[in-house]
Amino acid sequence: MDIKSLNIDESAKQNAQAWLDGDYDEATKRAILDMAEHNPQELNESFYRHLEFGTGGLRGIMGVGTNRMNKYTVAMATQGLANYVKSQFAGESELRAAVSHDSRNHSREFAEITASVLAANGFKVYLFDGMRPTPELSFAVRHYHCHTGVMVTASHNPKEYNGYKAYWSDGCQLTAPHDTAVIDEVLKIKAVSDVKMKGGEQNIITIGEEVDKVYLARVEQNALNPELIKKHHDVKIVYTPLHGTGITLIPRMLKQLGFTNVNIVEAQAVPDGNFPTTPSPNPEERAAMSMAVDLAKQIDADIVFASDPDADRVGVAVKRPDGEWMLLNGNQTMSVLFYYIVKQWQEKKMLTGNEFMVKTIVTSELPADIATRAGIKIYDVLTGFKFIGSKIRELEGMETFIAGGEESYGYMIGDFVRDKDAVAACSMIAEIAAWALEQGKTFFDVLVDIYREYGFYKEGLVSVVRKGKSGAEEIQQMMANYRSNPPQEIDGERVVCIKDYKSLESKDLISGRVTKINLPKSNVLQFFTDKGNKITVRPSGTEPKIKYYFGVKGELCCKECFDKINDALDAKIESIKKSMQL
């Protein structure tokens, strides 16, 4: 089959031919020729570009090709990572790395290849003996004093995907300047012949139970009311790992804390990269939570939670007074976590005035309100959990980190892990359910209590997608228009503050005062109104899409008014969308 004669991109032809001519296995070459003969368009998609190593690592569809996740693209990315780490720690006598993976198809294979390349480059590699949650990989990087770490996962993406998260020596995903510098090194690796694949087998150390115990012991220390857990050990919990890594540690952690009535969704307890019981293993989606909610209804449970495949994110469902189950969004779960933790730190007189909490700029302002009223500093960071980890590193030794979170279902309690942690979050959510029970309340009642005390905060999200190059240009023009001609009012409310994360300026439109925003630059705008509402406009950096995050606020006088106020706030968000012509 002559690839040169195919009607596909020239770059796809060149990349595919390079693999046919290069040091790639025969099965790969046969797959290329088969695509050329039977599915040229698939060949084009697989080879028209190199899979991008972004600021968070790799993520893509699995298969043969330069634009696919496979053993060769994983090996080349790892070589680039190894080259950069070696350049940054040139004086070290021994370089160390930790490697783990989730339950996805080929994840173990990719993890072993990653470990082999790092070992061949002289690293001492701590490779987990099987799948483990992402937060434990972050923990292991710091526990073993590693210089880097890799977690093979595509998080909550569909089954066709896999990915690769790279970590720095602080246990946090790569941030500036390392993120872009690693990308530069990866781009220098043009072929598998540039990769050291063999020769360091003796440098690979298998780890497992010994670090599990240390990590779980540290999570256990988060418990704020161990005696209360003992009293309400039989609080009725439903948990599903959605065929992912959560099954390895979350039930074990709950048992270690003393919870005795943990009901696992057995059909989703078996690790399986095909995720056979759900169209998407994403705990944000109702379909992914449906089996857990069904079980909760059967046994009249007190709380439901689910972790995604790499067990860094958590979805929660709670029982309403009418007996129906309601899925909480990430802002709501985060607010309850903050509320409980702050309340306990206050009651136990643990606050010294030097503590802080962190949220992202697109997250609800409710967690910030909770922290501020308690005299706890609250820091905003850019979207992405790595920026929460970066803030902890910046303040280490000066201020005490309590907790952090983001609207996309990620939470961190304590600083021993530097990424979102479903093991720690599920443990604290279970404790809150026991605490609510002690007061004759439900988890839903706790959320209502928060809304009554701080105001009813409600959030919404709209993604506007345009097509192709012209779409990307249109979105850039939209951002330019918002900057040159910002709205004076939105839905009849006066805009009183504009935050521009590109110019790093916050402008008070009442006083005219301009203050500096102490964050990395990002193409994001925020508009705050005199009624306390917030609109965030954030274009995607990788596709022609722009996201609008809406945050509105009302007053809740009683539990019985919940639905009425909730509906009114939903209507308010719809009205704002209309006023912004969305």
Q: Which residues are catalytic?
A: 155
Can you state the percent helix, strand and coil of the chain, rounding each to 5?
40, 25, 35
Please give the share of the chain, as a percent, with pLDDT higher than 90: 92
Q: Are 107 and 142 spatial neighbours (Cβ–Cβ below 8 Å)? A: no
The residue-averaged pLDDT of 397-418 equals: 97
Q: Which residue has the tokens 């991109």?
A: 9
Instruction: Return the minimum-mean-pLDDT range out of 5-19, 46-60, 109-123, 183-197.
Output: 46-60
Cα–Cα distance measured from residue 300 to residue 303, given in angstroms and rounded to the nearest whole number: 9
Residue 85 CA, distance from chain mean position: 24
pLDDT at 377: 98
Phi, psi for residue 315 in degrees, rounded to 5: -105, 145
How far is CA 473 from each of CA 256, 454, 582, rounded to the nearest angstrom?
A: 54, 41, 18
- Residue 455 region, left (φ>0) first, then alpha (ψ -120 to 50), else beta? left
- Residue 305 region, left (φ>0) first, then alpha (ψ -120 to 50), else beta? beta
pLDDT at 468: 76
**At a CB cut-off of 8 Å and minimum separation 6, what does 544 contact?**
465, 466, 467, 468, 471, 472, 474, 475
Query: How confident is the model over 64-107, as pLDDT tens digits?
Result: 999 999 999 999 999 999 999 999 999 899 999 999 999 999 99
Q: Per residue in 162-174, is it b (16+ CB within 10 Å) or e — as a string?
A: bbbbbbbbbbbbb
Q: Average model confidence (pLDDT) for the chain?
A: 96
Q: Which position has the higher pLDDT, 156 or 128?
A: 128
Instruction: Return the minimum-mean-pLDDT range out of 3-7, 133-137, 300-304, 380-384.
Output: 3-7
How far is CA 339 from each of CA 37, 167, 343, 347, 537, rounded to the nearest angstrom?
A: 60, 30, 6, 12, 28
Query: How confident is the model over 460-479, as pLDDT tens digits?
Result: 999 998 887 788 889 999 99
Structure tokens at 379: 């820091």
Q: Which residue intervals of the chain bear CATH 3.30.310?
A: 456-579
For domain 50-207, the question of CATH label 3.40.120.10 is answered with yes
Cis omega (within 30 of 0) for bond into 177: yes
The residue-averaged pLDDT of 171-200 equals: 93
How far is CA 481 from each of CA 84, 475, 494, rounded to the nearest angstrom?
A: 40, 10, 19
pLDDT at 100: 98
User: Following DSSP, what letter does each residue of 374-432 receive, concatenated?
Assistant: TT-EEEEE-SSHHHHHHHHHHHTTTSEEEEEEETTTEEEESSSSSS--HHHHHHHHHHH
pLDDT at 540: 81
According to DSSP, the β-strands at 514-516 and 204-207 are unpaired
Q: Which residue intervals of the chain bear CATH 3.40.120.10?
A: 50-207, 215-454
Asked whether residue 542 carries a pLDDT value surpassing 70, the answer given is no
pLDDT at 125: 98
Cα–Cα distance measured from residue 487 to residue 494, given in angstroms and rounded to the nearest whole number: 9
Asked whether residue 327 carries a pLDDT value surpassing 90, the answer given is yes
Query: How confident is the model over 96-140, as pLDDT tens digits?
Result: 999 999 999 999 999 999 999 999 999 999 999 999 999 999 999
Q: Are 259 and 437 spatial neighbours (Cβ–Cβ below 8 Å)? A: no
The residue-averaged pLDDT of 208-231 equals: 98
Query: How confident is the model over 434-452, as pLDDT tens digits?
Result: 999 999 999 999 999 999 9
What is the DSSP-derived secondary structure letter of residue 313?
B
- 3-class SS at 304? strand
Please tell me the CATH superfamily of domain 215-454, with its number: Alpha-D-Glucose-1,6-Bisphosphate, subunit A, domain 3 (3.40.120.10)
Other Cβ atoms less than 10 A from the Cβ of 288: the count is 24
Taking CA 501 as the corner, what is the angle to CA 169 and CA 456, rounded to the nearest 5 degrees? 95
Q: Which CATH class is domain 456-579?
A: alpha beta
pTM over 0.85: yes
The residue-averaged pLDDT of 28-45 equals: 95
Phi, psi for residue 391 in degrees, rounded to 5: -65, -40
Best mean pLDDT range from 187-196, 433-442, 537-546: 433-442
pLDDT at 4: 84
Q: Nearest CA to 10 among 51, 46, 44, 52?
A: 44
Q: Are 376 and 342 spatial neighbours (Cβ–Cβ below 8 Å)? A: yes
